Amino acid sequence: MFNLPTTNIGGPELFVLEFGDIVTYFSPYTAALFVFALIFTVLAIVSRPERQVDFAFGGDAYYTKVVDPDLLRFQRFMAIACGLATLGAVTTGDVFNFTLFASMVGITNIGIVAAYRNRHVLNAAFQYGIVAMLASIPLFGGAAIVLASTGTLSMWELFGGAMAVPLIAKAFLVLGVMGEGMAPFYIAKAEITRAQGAPFILMVHVSSLLLFLRVTEIVISM
């Protein structure tokens, strides 16, 4: 369409690990995404949760809300799992594994958001859960159509340009990732960006952003 100067938009391979026809590899592009996800996973591991501060109106008094340690532990675990799933999604060389990692990001996002015992937040988490479940239809469907039309799921072979991947499969993949990566929308809807335990919410945004970047690379290269 635009006649890109190179067919390999991710850049030259830095590292290649072959499992049969499934090849795990790092290009400068995916390596950058990997490092970005790694930094935020480490941040989720080491960071202490913020405590919300309420000011008493008309005076100097303020008080901080108590963070329930159990919820905090659950949320931190979910944030770390979300980071690991994101790491997997940006590294993998297999279309179906990518869809599985994307679904795992969706599940952990539900977990991060659902750790609040607040009706509005739980409502948003529920709506997001429905969307994430429905998104697995186009997500897995896209991977299945790729497999049916080309006979392989290996990105290594699909990116070569010798195989024609139907447009509907690409559209399904993008649609599925849109559904799984929709969590920031629901976070904004429930206004929990500055809720207690705020650093873990960041993971939702990071994972969503990286999923979109990766699926863009996959769809353009195929």
Partner 1 sequence: MDVAYPVGLVVVAAAIIIGFTALVREKDDLHRILLTDLAEILALVLIALVATDLAEALILPGLVVGISELMAVSEVYIAKEGLRAPTGPPFRIEVMNSAPGILALILVAYGIVLSGFTGGVIAAVGAVFYFMCRGHTEQFELIETVSGYAWAFWIGAFFIFMFLPGYWFFGVMIAGGAILLKVMAKMSLVGTMRGGGPDV
Q: Based on CB atoms, which residue is closest to partner 1, 19 or 55?
A: 19
Q: Based on CB atoms, which residue is closest to partner 1, 139 or 222?
A: 139
Sequential DSSP letters for 27-47? -HHHHHHHHHHHHHHHHHHHP
Rounded to a whole number of angstroms, the minimum distance from the CB of residue 38 to partner 1 is: 24
107 in contact with partner 1 (CB under 8 A): yes
184 in contact with partner 1 (CB under 8 A): no
- Residues 141-180, one symbol each (x = binds partner 1 by CB under 8 A, - = not), give x-xxx-xx----x---------------------------
Residues 203-218: b if buried by 16+ CB within 10 A, e if exposed: bbbbbbbbbebbbebb
Sequential DSSP letters for 110-171? HHHHHTS--HHHHHHHHHHHHHHHHHHHHHHHHHHHHHHHHS--BHHHHTTSSS---HHHHH
126 in contact with partner 1 (CB under 8 A): yes
Rounded to a whole number of angstroms, the minimum distance from the CB of residue 142 to partner 1 is: 9
139 in contact with partner 1 (CB under 8 A): yes
Are 170 and 119 a contacting pair, CB within 8 Å? no
133 in contact with partner 1 (CB under 8 A): yes
Q: How far is CA 115 from CA 50, 70, 123, in A?
A: 15, 10, 12
The footprint of partner 1 on this chain (CB under 8 A) covers a number of residues equal to 31
| Span near partner 1 by CB under 8 A; candidates 24-32, 40-48, 101-109, 211-219 | 101-109
Rounded to a whole number of angstroms, the minimum distance from the CB of residue 57 to partner 1 is: 31
Q: How far apart are CA 197 and CA 72, in angstroms?
A: 7
Q: How far apart are CA 29 and CA 8, in angstroms?
A: 11
Residues found near partner 1 in the complex (CB under 8 A):
96, 100, 103-104, 106-107, 110-111, 114, 117, 119, 122-123, 125-126, 129-130, 132-134, 136-137, 139-141, 143-145, 147-148, 153
